[in-house]
């Protein structure tokens, strides 16, 4: 095998006024080698992992697939039908350390599988979450070790739920048992964290205001770069820049429309899209750019907060989310819960489709990723933490064999799945929280 020097380093950045612009993986960043070797190199490594949280459980009748295949998905999962081979549905897991049942512990235990200290004060204590364990290992090589995102302003303090401090309900990610990591809900601030460089937030804002667009700052650099790469790379760069431009313009449009919104949602930051779905799509697209530019390899995203009273009129659900989850067996309320479940899944499915359409090496971003989507609550009316709704998505570099419903006959710790995913992402561990083993059959080798 002949290997020659590559023309571009993988960490190449385009620098402009207040920006450091990461690039997608280009052919020019790979050593020249035989086609067979290139295939092995591009497909052998699982590069990234993401966690998406949804609150307040689900309606099992409209979620659980019949049997072990995903040939005919029930309504709440129907947006994933075209992606069935890329996902596995897992039922029968639980979070024993989230009891006694609450919204706060549903959120806090989801990635930690740890028991939250019952306190209303600042002496809170939980556990390091799996995303941060992964970030310490695979995030060391990237600009951002991890990226924490949400859809709501989670600034409440004091006691939020059954004697638990609000910090448990506000924060999905914890870098240590005493260090919660606040999530960012404002697209502009996430955008700047991905592409801004140096100085304070005010200095970066001032620098960016001098230009109509972030991309305007690196126009000359882009022109020079294109002269150094081949036609395939030039096309890849153009597509990536189009995506960045699109995201930036959507952020600008949302910011300009603030004055036209006399009744803002107090849980939403100022300057985000008026519609929930548009805001969520923007946050997902920012994650896609972060993965494509290898700015980070670990993300967590709270798609809605626990005890949210958000309404979803765009899908015909005008009732606040939290009250209808206390359904008392009402089929009408349960069907509305199922509709909200379906809506959230549809936004996740759109994200997966975009990842799959984004080429990387000899595969795509979804091929080289793993995602865990789910809730820390099962039946919301009972506030229980058993039989959780869980989705695993992504190719995992050829390791994940999707198209299956994996249903455990007896309650199985969600920490078993967390441990399994950590091992697959290159963070070998023998145990995590209350784990009792791994779920190895989820990762039967497949041929891409």
H/E segment holding residue 255: helix 231-256
Q: What is the pLDDT of residue 49?
A: 96
Q: Are 146 and 130 in contact (CB under 8 A)?
A: no
Cα–Cα distance measured from residue 91 to residue 35, given in angstroms and rounded to the nearest whole number? 41
**Does some domain include residue 120?**
yes
**Does some domain include residue 351?**
yes
For the chain, residues with pLDDT lower than 50 are: 1-5, 33-44, 157-158, 259, 261-264, 266, 446-448
Q: What is the pLDDT of residues 387-414, one digit of tens each?
A: 999 999 998 777 888 999 999 999 999 9
Q: What is the pLDDT of residue 240?
A: 87
**Does some domain include residue 407?**
yes
Domain region containing 156: 45-185+272-443
CATH number at residue 62: 3.40.720.10
**Does some domain include residue 392?**
yes
Count how many domains the chain has.
1
Q: What is the pLDDT of residue 196?
A: 74
Q: What is the pLDDT of residue 4?
A: 44
Q: What is the pLDDT of residue 23?
A: 84
Q: What is the pLDDT of residue 269?
A: 63
Q: What is the pLDDT of residue 397?
A: 72
- pTM, entire model: 0.89
**Does some domain include residue 225?**
no
Q: What is the pLDDT of residue 33?
A: 44
Cα–Cα distance measured from residue 299 to residue 147, given in angstroms and rounded to the nearest whole number? 5
Q: Are 275 and 254 in contact (CB under 8 A)?
A: no
Q: What does residue 343 show for φ and ψ, rounded to 5 degrees?
A: -60, -45
**Does some domain include residue 200?**
no
Q: What is the pLDDT of residues 351-374, one digit of tens each?
A: 999 999 999 888 899 999 999 999
**Does some domain include residue 301?**
yes
**Does some domain include residue 192?**
no
């Amino acid at each position: 095998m002949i290997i020659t020097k590559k023309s571009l380093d993988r960490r190449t950045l385009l620098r402009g006024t207040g920006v450091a612009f990461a690039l997608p993986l280009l052919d020019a960043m790979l050593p020249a080698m035989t086609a067979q070797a290139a295939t092995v190199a591009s497909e052998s490594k699982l590069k990234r992992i993401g966690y998406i949280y949804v609150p307040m459980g689900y309606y099992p009748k409209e979620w659980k697939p019949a049997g072990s295949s995903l040939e005919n998905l029930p309504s709440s999962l129907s947006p994933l039908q075209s992606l069935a081979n890329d996902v596995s549905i897992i039922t029968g897991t639980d979070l024993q350390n989230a009891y006694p049942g609450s919204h706060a512990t549903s959120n806090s235990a989801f990635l930690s599988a740890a028991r939250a200290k019952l306190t209303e004060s600042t002496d809170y204590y939980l556990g390091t979450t799996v995303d941060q364990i992964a970030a310490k290992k695979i995030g060391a090589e990237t600009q951002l070790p991890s990226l924490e995102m949400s859809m709501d302003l989670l600034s409440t303090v004091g006691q939020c739920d059954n004697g638990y401090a609000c910090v448990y309900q506000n924060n999905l990610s914890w870098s240590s048992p005493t260090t919660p990591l606040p999530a960012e809900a404002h697209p502009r601030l996430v955008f700047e964290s991905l592409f801004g460089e140096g100085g304070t937030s005010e200095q970066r804002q001032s620098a960016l205001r001098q230009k109509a667009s972030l991309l305007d700052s690196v126009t000359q650099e882009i022109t020079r770069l294109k002269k150094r790469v081949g036609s395939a790379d030039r096309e890849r760069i153009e597509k990536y820049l189009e995506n960045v431009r699109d995201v930036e313009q959507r952020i600008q449009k949302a910011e300009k429309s603030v004055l036209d919104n006399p009744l803002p949602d107090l849980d939403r930051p100022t300057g985000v899209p008026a519609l929930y779905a548009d805001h969520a799509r923007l946050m997902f697209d920012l994650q896609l750019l972060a993965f494509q530019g290898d700015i980070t390899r670990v993300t967590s995203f709270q798609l809605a907060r626990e005890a949210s009273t958000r309404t979803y009129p765009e899908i015909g659900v005008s009732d606040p989310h939290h009250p209808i989850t206390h359904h008392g067996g009402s089929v009408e309320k349960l069907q509305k819960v199922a509709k909200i479940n379906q809506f959230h899944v549809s936004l996740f499915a759109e994200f997966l489709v975009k990842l799959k359409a984004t080429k990387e090496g000899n595969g795509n971003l979804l091929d080289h990723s793993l995602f865990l989507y789910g809730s820390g609550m099962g039946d919301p009316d009972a506030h229980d933490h058993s039989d959780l709704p869980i989705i695993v998505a992504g190719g995992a570099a050829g390791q994940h064999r999707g198209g299956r419903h994996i249903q455990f006959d007896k309650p199985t710790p969600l920490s078993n799945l967390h441990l399994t995913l950590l091992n697959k992402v290159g963070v070998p561990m023998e145990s995590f929280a209350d784990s009792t083993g791994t779920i190895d059959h989820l990762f039967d080798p497949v041929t891409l």
